[in-house]
Chains A and B, each alone.
Chain A
Amino acid sequence: DAGVTQSPTHLIKTRGQQVTLRCSPKSGHDTVSWYQQALGQGPQFIFQYYEEEERQRGNFPDRFSGHQFPNYSSELNVNALLLGDSALYLCASSPRAPNSYQETQYFGPGTRLLVL
């Protein structure tokens, strides 16, 4: 049973560019959440997708956007990259039903983004 997968593993961009990160959820999971983990910090919630719509959003600017596809996979897009966007981006998947509050989020290995 494949776990959560993310691509690419590493990425180097320059300021002002745009980036797209990809995530495939664990088999049987339909909810995908994205987190940003800056160096030396805990992960911070960006947003969550379910049924191809953004359901919840953390305190991140509109430069951060996403998408969920019918097969539950997801993309995170970041426009107009800043140096401060350098971080490990983590995708987590979980089942929605029957009670999403009790469900465990399973994380992928992350994509490390460096903005120069």
Chain B
Amino acid sequence: AQSVAQPEDQVNVAEGNPLTVKCTYSVSGNPYLFWYVQYPNRGLQFLLKYITGDNLVKGSYGFEAEFNKSQTSFHLKKPSALVSDSALYFCAVRDGRGGANNLFFGTGTRLTVIP
């Protein structure tokens, strides 16, 4: 079975400080991992994904994520937060085994960047 956990419902960070949004996952096969962001009354916007290769993945708007197989984690990071980064962030996983390619999402983490 596939699952994703985002242990923090809310993360607050001061503008200019580094931010981390945590995600852990569970899959049977090889994990394919994704981060999406959702602004109010909008759909999901793709940020980045890990398929294979380098454990550090760089994405849109200065975001990056580090894949850690031993800790089954895929935390989202940004060196310097902007007020405009305030939004709802979702981690998602796809199991590379079994023929299904739909995404399983976490419950989301609301990021607030304080000016």
Contacts of A101 in B (CB 8 A): 32, 94, 96, 101
Given A48-B102, A101-B96, A104-B49, A42 and B32 touching (CB < 8 A)? no
**Stretch of B10-18, B78-86, B105-113 lying at the A interface:** B105-113
Say if the beta carbon of A66 comes within 8 Å of chain B. no
Question: In the complex, A1 Cα to B42 Cα: how many Å?
Answer: 19
**Is the pair B96, A104 in contact by a Cβ cutoff of 8 Å?**
no
Shortest distance in angstroms between A100's beta carbon and chain B's nearest beta carbon? 5
Say if the beta carbon of A102 comes within 8 Å of chain B. yes
Question: In the complex, A56 Cα to B34 Cα: how many Å?
Answer: 20
Given A43-B44, A43-B90, A90-B43, A105 and B103 touching (CB < 8 A)? yes
Contacts of B34 in A (CB 8 A): 104-105
**Is the pair B100, A56 in contact by a Cβ cutoff of 8 Å?**
yes
Question: In the complex, A100 Cα to B98 Cα: how many Å?
Answer: 13
**Could you tell me which residues of chain B, from 10 to 51, have a CB within 8 Å of some CB in chain A?**
32, 34, 36, 41-46, 49, 51
- The 8 Å CB contact of A42, one of B45, B46, B51, B108, is B108
| A58 to B, closest residue via Cβ | B102
**Is the pair A107, B32 in contact by a Cβ cutoff of 8 Å?**
no
Contacts of A40 in B (CB 8 A): 107
- Type the 1/0 row for B83-97, where 1 means its CB is closer than 8 Å to any CB of A: 000000010101010
| B32 to A, closest residue via Cβ | A101
Shortest distance in angstroms between B11's beta carbon and chain A's nearest beta carbon? 16
**Is the pair A42, B42 in contact by a Cβ cutoff of 8 Å?**
no
Of B41, B44, B90, B92, most A-chain CB atoms within 10 Å: B44
Question: In the complex, A58 Cα to B43 Cα: how many Å?
Answer: 20
Question: In the complex, A102 Cα to B95 Cα: how many Å?
Answer: 10
